[in-house]
Structure 1
């Protein structure tokens, strides 16, 4: 049986939990800085953060850049939120990353996924979005994530790639829908 604590006791519990989070973050930062920094996995993660944007800058559909960046930002925000929940609940982790952050893999969520989605949106824009979403979800969940796991950039704990497939497929459909919006007005 759980006893109800007072408001002040609750604040004290949150302070204790916050201190544990800070200590955990420091352990992760120290590990990344002292163990993983400049390993070949770290360099791959850095390349994953930079190279997709360079490729996108070269091959993007220039007249649609703002619209594509808007949808890329939506992918980033959605994936960052979902990623945070997944890591906080112990479903997966990112052992090696460029930026020492406990929750998010910036390389995958802030570069590879949005750039891939933007390329999918600009390539054959009138093609069936559901087919493109399934291909996007399948490539990301069943090819990309296992490759990341094989090189220790992603660690699946209590999660199935199929869950990611459905989430990523739905995420692409949201990106597709947002790329079709025509209600932007000048400020």
Structure 2
């Protein structure tokens, strides 16, 4: 394949992606919008952040929020890869974008991580990570599947367990970096 043939093939692929996105938008706007599943997804998008705003520890919220942002970025990347390779899908979405599930990735997961990070901060992070990975993979995802907010195609919940457990441990490590301690000491 020549360079120009590659560019032409990318143009064709982009057209197919655009057509697929339009099918998804049509489905969401004409079949899913304002269904009870859509409302649950909306609540999942908004309520965790309200809970975070109420229960966050003000003196360490920047440090913990930074770890939450890390979770958002990493889950965004991993989820986009998984959806792109047909491992799972998100049929009902609040916002009609093909690969995105804002409710779970950008709200529930990071807020749960942030709350766990600030709850008993000296508690064993490995136990918290296993709890987070287990609860998210074996309770959260199957529940989302039952209500059509998640569709497992070619994936095993155990893979999600290991990924989410490691994700929590990474967020824990990130939230404990010395730079944050220096910043918090300066601000006091």
User: TM (normalized to structure 2)?
Assistant: 0.95
In the alignment, does 2:38 pair up with 1:42? Answer: yes
Distance in 1 of aligned mates of 2:50 and 2:99: 25
Partner of 2:17: 21
Partner of 1:80: 76
In the alignment, does 2:151 pair up with 1:134? Answer: no
List structure 1 runs of 4+ shifted beyond 4 angstroms: none
Partner of 1:112: 108
Measured on the aligned residues, the alpha-carbon RMSD in Å equals 0.9
In the alignment, does 2:3 pair up with 1:7? Answer: yes
Residue aligned with 1:183, SS: helix
Structure with bigger helix share is 2
In the alignment, does 2:151 pair up with 1:170? Answer: no
Specify every segment of 5 or more residues in structure 2 that has no aligned partner in the other structure, as ranges: 184-188
Number of aligned residues: 182
Distance in 2 of aligned mates of 1:79 and 1:101: 16
1:68 offset after TM fit, Å?
1.1
Distance in 2 of aligned mates of 1:156 and 1:162: 12
In the alignment, does 2:148 pair up with 1:146? Answer: no
Residue aligned with 2:120, SS: coil
